[in-house]
């Protein structure tokens, strides 16, 4: 009689330089053949001590560091920090500056979602949509370069408002881009979103129920992909968002199970159209006036603490800041959407194919610098 066959799980590394992680992230995977038994994310490769650096630089001097927290949507990262400091100071921002802030942040939201959608397609083997969306992102980069001179890390939104007014011709070029991009979105849908092969790869993969999404504290499109209607712009309105009309897309299990990879993908695709709607309203309503409140060159906010959050492309981003009345924050803590998205991967990756882990990462839109601060 032959001895019983002895088997064991195989432990492999995915990363930290794996192309589908879109950054330096490592996953330690225990597999049974092609099936994942256990997936342990290993973060920390990009830790730069940004929260500690905040204690050593001036309040204004920390703004460029926020660009590096999420380089895919630096405008939104600038806004989160600046509005937290402004709340601490009780600073009133000129209305024109508020409209400009929303315009540039929604442009950055479109470019961020375009990269997320294109990268998810590329990871599934469809390279062409990614190239098309990179081309469209260049148009947004051109607009943001017009306004501040930079194409990736902007340092444009500042404490008190914005650094520069809208340049001549910006409005016309923005409207031209929006008209063009609406057509492109439909082309992308026909090319990939409604493609049966792509749907088979994303639908019914890594479904997250509304209860699980809330228990893991998911935010942004990852939360709304599970059908939970929560967007900071609506739930806790800030800036001029209360004056604007826009909808909050939710996952509905249209091609598979509620909260699957396809729902998270489609929420981002639908949010692009809502951002276009927001920008058009801002361009129509923006008033004349100042673009920056009067702020001293050396800021010393009153003693106390504050928490402020905004809706960035990756969801609810919050800043906790403690001031001791000096020219630097005494303590600063950042809450990001990618970190909560990463926390659910060990749960939803159990029992899926290794190739489906790539789909999960893409659908959660994880950006590595947001994990390590």
Which pLDDT score is estimated for 1? 47
Q: Is the pLDDT of residue 317 over 90?
A: yes
Q: Is the pLDDT of residue 125 over 90?
A: no
Residue 132 lies in a domain: yes
Q: Is the pLDDT of residue 12 over 80?
A: yes
Residue 213 lies in a domain: yes
Q: Is the pLDDT of residue 360 over 80?
A: yes
Mean pLDDT for the chain overall? 93
pLDDT band at 24 (very low <50, low <70, confident <90, very high): confident
pLDDT tens digits along 69-115: 988 999 999 999 999 999 999 999 999 999 999 999 999 999 999 99
pLDDT tens digits along 140-188: 999 999 999 999 999 999 999 999 999 999 999 999 999 999 999 999 8
pLDDT band at 127 (very low <50, low <70, confident <90, very high): confident
Burial of 45 (0-12, 13-18, 19+ CB in 10 A): middle
Q: CATH no. for residue 238?
A: 1.10.645.10
Rounded (10°) angle between helices 261-285 and 95-123: 150
Q: Is the pTM of this model over 0.85?
A: yes
Residue 348 lies in a domain: no
Strand, helix or coil at 105?
Answer: helix
pLDDT band at 348 (very low <50, low <70, confident <90, very high): very high
Residue 373 lies in a domain: no
Residue 164 lies in a domain: yes
Number of domains the chain is built from? 1
Which pLDDT score is estimated for 2? 55
List the domain range (segments joined by +) for residue 228. Answer: 53-336
pLDDT tens digits along 254-313: 888 999 999 999 999 999 999 999 999 999 999 999 999 999 889 999 999 999 999 999
Residue 157 lies in a domain: yes
Contacts of 168 (CB under 8 A, 6+ apart): none
Lowest-pLDDT range, 13-22, 193-202, 336-345?
Answer: 13-22
Give the whole-angstrom CA distance, residue 130 versus residue 239: 32
Residue 257 lies in a domain: yes
Residue 230 lies in a domain: yes
Nearest to 18 by CA among 7, 26, 10: 26
Peptide bond connecting 16 to the previous residue in cis, omega within 30 degrees of 0: yes
pLDDT tens digits along 204-254: 999 999 999 999 999 999 999 999 999 999 999 999 999 999 999 999 988
């Amino acid at each position: 009689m032959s001895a019983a066959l002895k088997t064991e799980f195989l432990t492999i590394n995915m990363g930290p330089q794996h192309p589908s992680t879109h950054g330096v992230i490592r996953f330690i995977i225990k597999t049974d053949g092609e099936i994942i038994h256990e997936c342990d994310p290993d973060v920390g490769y990009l830790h730069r001590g940004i929260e500690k650096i905040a204690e050593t630089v001036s309040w204004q001097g920390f703004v460029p560091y926020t660009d590096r927290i999420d380089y895919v949507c630096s405008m939104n990262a600038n806004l989160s920090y600046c509005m937290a400091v402004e709340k601490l100071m009780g600073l009133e921002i000129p209305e024109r500056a508020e409209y400009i802030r929303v315009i540039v942040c929604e442009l950055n939201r479109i470019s961020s979602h375009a990269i997320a959608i294109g990268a998810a397609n590329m990871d599934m083997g469809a390279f062409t949509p990614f190239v098309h969306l990179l081309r469209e992102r260049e148009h947004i980069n051109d607009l943001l370069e017009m306004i501040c001179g930079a194409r990736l890390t902007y340092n444009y939104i500042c404490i008190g408002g914005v650094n520069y007014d809208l340049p001549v011709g910006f409005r016309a070029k923005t409207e031209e881009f929006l008209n063009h991009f609406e057509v492109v979105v439909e082309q992308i849908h026909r090319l990939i979103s409604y493609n049966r092969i792509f749907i088979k790869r994303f639908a019914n993969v890594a479904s997250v129920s509304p209860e699980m999404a809330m228990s893991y504290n998911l935010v942004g499109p990852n939360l709304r992909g599970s059908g939970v209607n929560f967007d900071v712009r609506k739930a806790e309105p800030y800036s001029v968002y209360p004056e604007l009309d826009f909808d909050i897309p939710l996952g509905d299990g249209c091609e598979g199970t509620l909260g699957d990879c396809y729902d998270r993908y489609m929420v981002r695709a639908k949010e692009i159209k809502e951002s276009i709607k927001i920008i058009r309203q801002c361009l129509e309503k923006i008033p004349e006036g100042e673009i920056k409140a009067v702020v001293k060159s050396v800021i010393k906010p009153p003693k106390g603490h504050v928490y402020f959050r905004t809706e960035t492309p990756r969801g609810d981003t919050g800043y906790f800041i403690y001031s001791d009345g000096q020219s630097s924050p005494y303590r600063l803590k950042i809450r990001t959407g990618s970190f909560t998205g990463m926390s659910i991967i060990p749960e939803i990756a159990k029992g899926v194919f290794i190739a489906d882990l790539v789909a999960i990462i893409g659908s959660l839109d994880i950006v590595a610098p947001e994990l390590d601060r």
